[in-house]
Amino acid sequence: MQIFINDIPVECQSGISLTQLLALQDIQPLNIAIAIDNTVIPKTQWETTFIREGSHILIIKAVQGG
């Protein structure tokens, strides 16, 4: 199925969770926030939130600096 991660089209298998998607995309689950279709998903729900065809996923990485 096709989804969008930060507006980039990505093919992935259906029925995967956010946690599985991060692993498949080699994205470390540290210091990031995730929204699906403009809804922020709490980290406690990543394991039980499943990706659907056409989902728009926004991944934001927190950085420190001055």
Q: Sign of torsion, CA 36 25 8 52?
A: negative
Neighbours of 21 (CB within 10 A): 23
Q: What are phi and psi of 62, to 5 degrees?
A: -80, 135
pLDDT at 64: 77
Cβ proximity of 57 and 25 under 8 Å:
no
Is 45 in a helix, a strand, or coil?
helix
**pTM, whole model, 2 decimals?**
0.88
CA separation for the pair 54, 57 (Å, rounded): 9
The amino acid at residue 29 is P
Domains within the chain, CATH numbers bracketed: 2-61 (3.10.20.30)
pLDDT in tens, 17-45: 999 999 999 999 999 999 999 999 999 99
